[in-house]
Amino acid sequence: MKKVILGMIGLSLLGGAAVTMASPEQDRLDTIKYFQTKYPNVKIEDYVYGSLAFDQDTMDQYNAIMEFPPFESEVEKGKKMWDTPFKNGKTYASCMPNGGKNIAGNYPYFDDKAGKVVTFQDALNACRVANGEQAYNNGDMKTMGLLQAYARTLSDGMLSNVKVEGAGALAAYDDGKKTFYSRKGQLNFACATCHVQNAGTRLRSELISPVIGHTVHWPVFRAGDNLFTIHRRYVGCVKSVRGISPKEGDVSWNNLEYFHSYMSNGLPLKASVFRK
C-alpha cells in the first residue's frame, strides 16, 4: 500500500521525502484513481459528504439533522453581518465580484502581484479594510467564522475551480502539498496518514474522511452549533498529534488550503453543514 501511495501521490508518507514531482492536475487525477481503486463502490461525487460517504446509517442521520439544522440561527448571524452596511454605506456585496455569489469556488488563488495565496477569508478582510473597517482575526469564530459561514453559502452548488498557474503559484501549491504529506508532532502523523492512507477506516468510533471533497463544505458546525473554519480544523489536527501549530491565517495554512482545495476541483460547494 505504501508503495502505491508513493507512486501515485508523489511524496513519502513515512518521511515526507520528495520524489518525482507531478503536476497539480496529475496529483488530483492520481488521488481520484487511488480512491476509486480502494473504494470502487463509492462515487467520487459522494466524497463531498466526507466520511459519510462510507456509511449509509451516518448519512441518514446527517440528512435528518440537515432538515432542521440546529445551527441555522448562527448562519443568520453571519447573514446579518454580510447585510449590515459599513460606516461608509457600502456592503460586502459591493466589493465582491457578482455581489459575492458563486465566487467562493475560485478561492484560494495565487496573487502574482502580492506574491502569495489569497483565501476567501483574506478577500473578506480585504473588503473590510478597503471600506475603512478593521480586519477581523482569522481565528475568531464569532466574527470571521460566522461571516464565512454565511458568505460561502452564496456559492453553494458552484464547482470548486482552483487554478495553479505560474511559477509562484506552483511553489505555493508544492509548499502546501509538502505540509500535507509531512509528519508532525509527537505522534509523527501527516495529514495524509489519516486522510489518504487510512481514509474510510475507523479511529475509535469514527470513520476517517478522505482528502477528496474535504474543502467544499467548510465552515462546518460540529456538536450542534460549534463552528469550525478549515484553518481552525488544521490547528486542531496538529494539536491532536501533539504538535505546535501556526495560527489561523498563517501562510503555511493558506498554502495547505491551496493544495487541499485543488484536490476537490470539480466538486460542488456546500457550506455550513453538520459534521461530527
Kindly list the catalytic residues: 237
State the number of CA atoms in the 13 A half-sphere of 86 facing the CB: 18
User: Which of left, alpha, beta for 53 (phi over 0: left; psi -120 to 50: alpha)?
Assistant: alpha
Query: With the C-alpha atoms ordered 255, 258, 264, 267, is the resulting torsion angle positive or negative?
Result: positive
Question: Which alpha helices (H) appear in the chain, and where do they start and end?
Answer: 2-9, 24-38, 56-67, 72-83, 120-130, 146-151, 167-181, 191-192, 230-240, 251-262
